[in-house]
Amino acid sequence: MHRFANPARFLKIARPATAICFWMGLILLLPGLYGGLLITPPDYLQGDSARILYIHVPTAWLGMAGWSGLAVASISQLVWRHPLAFVAARAIAPAGALFAALCLITGSIWGRPTWGTWWEWDGRLTSMLILFFLYLAYIALADADRERGGEGRIAAIFGVAGTVILPVIHYSVVWWNTLHQGQSISLIRGETSIADELIWPLPFTVLGFSLLFGAMVLMRMRAMLAQGRIEARLRRQAEGE
C-alpha cells in the first residue's frame, strides 16, 4: 500500500479510476432503479411503498461501510503514518454523512405508511442518527485540526473510537424490541427473506451506489491534494517575498 503513498502516483491512478467508478456506477444504478421502481411487482404486505428499499438498503450499507473505511484510514494514519490516510479519511466523511442522511430520510419516508409515523425512537433509527452525528463531529474535528496545523491524530483516534456504533446498528434489531424489521439479507449465510421477483434489482443499486460513493471519495481526495499543492505554493511565494 505504501507504493501509493506518493501523491503523484496516487493521482495517476485516481484520475481514470474516478471516471470508471462514476460511469460504471451510473450504468448499474439506472437499470436497478428502473427495475425496482417500475418493473418489480408491489410487495404483498407493504405495496408500492416497499420499492424504496432499492435506495434505502444501499444508503444504509454505505453509511456504515463509509465509517468502516474512515476507521481503516485512521488506523493507517496512527500506526503506519500513511501520508494519504488523513486525506482519505477526510474525503470519506462527507460521502458517508450524505449516505447516512439519505438512509434516515428514505427510512422515514418508508416508515410513514408502514408504521404510521415519520420517526420513532427505535433502536435502529436512533443508532443510525448517532452515526450521522458522528460523521458531522469528525468533519468538524478534522477541519479544526487541519486549520491549526495538526497532523489529524485526534480526528484519527475519534474515527477509530467511533466504530463502536457499527455493531450497535447491526444488532439493534436483535438486542431491542424494535419497530424496524429484522435482517432481511444475510451475506454470511447467503440467505434472504425477500422474494426473488423483488430482490433482483437490489444488487444493481447496491453496486451502483457503491461505485458512485467511490467516485465521490476519489474526486474529493484529488481536490484536497490540489488544494494542498496550491497552499504550499502560496506559502513558498510568501516566504520568498
Give residue-wise pLDDT tens across range 231-240: 666 566 666 6
Residue 12 lies in a domain: no
Residue 43 lies in a domain: no
Give the integer Cα–Cα distance in Å for 131 and 65: 11
Q: What are phi and psi of 20, to 5 degrees?
A: -65, -45
What parts of the chain have a pLDDT lower than 50?
Answer: 1, 188
The pLDDT score that the predictor gives to residue 215 is: 97
- Environment class of residue 109 by beta-carbon count within 10 Å: exposed (0-12), middle (13-18) or buried (19+)? middle
**3-class DSSP assignment, residue 191:** strand
Residue 135 lies in a domain: yes
Residue 77 lies in a domain: yes
Residue 58 lies in a domain: yes
Query: In Å, how far are 92, 129, 177, 219, 222 from 11, measured between CA atoms?
Result: 17, 34, 48, 10, 7
Query: In Å, how far are 65, 76, 115, 169 from 166, measured between CA atoms?
Result: 9, 19, 25, 5
Cell of 65: 461501510
Query: In Å, how far are 4, 22, 30 from 35, measured between CA atoms?
Result: 39, 20, 8
The pLDDT score that the predictor gives to residue 210 is: 97
The pLDDT score that the predictor gives to residue 117 is: 85
The pLDDT score that the predictor gives to residue 188 is: 46
Query: What is the domain range of residue 217?
Result: 21-33+51-181+202-229
List the one residue out of 227, 24, 234, 209 whose CA is nearest residue 102.
Answer: 209
List the one residue out of 168, 178, 167, 198 whose CA is nearest residue 53.
Answer: 198
Residue 87 lies in a domain: yes
Number of domains making up the chain? 1
Give the integer Cα–Cα distance in Å for 180 and 194: 15
Give the integer Cα–Cα distance in Å for 135 and 68: 12
Residue 110 lies in a domain: yes
Residue 239 lies in a domain: no
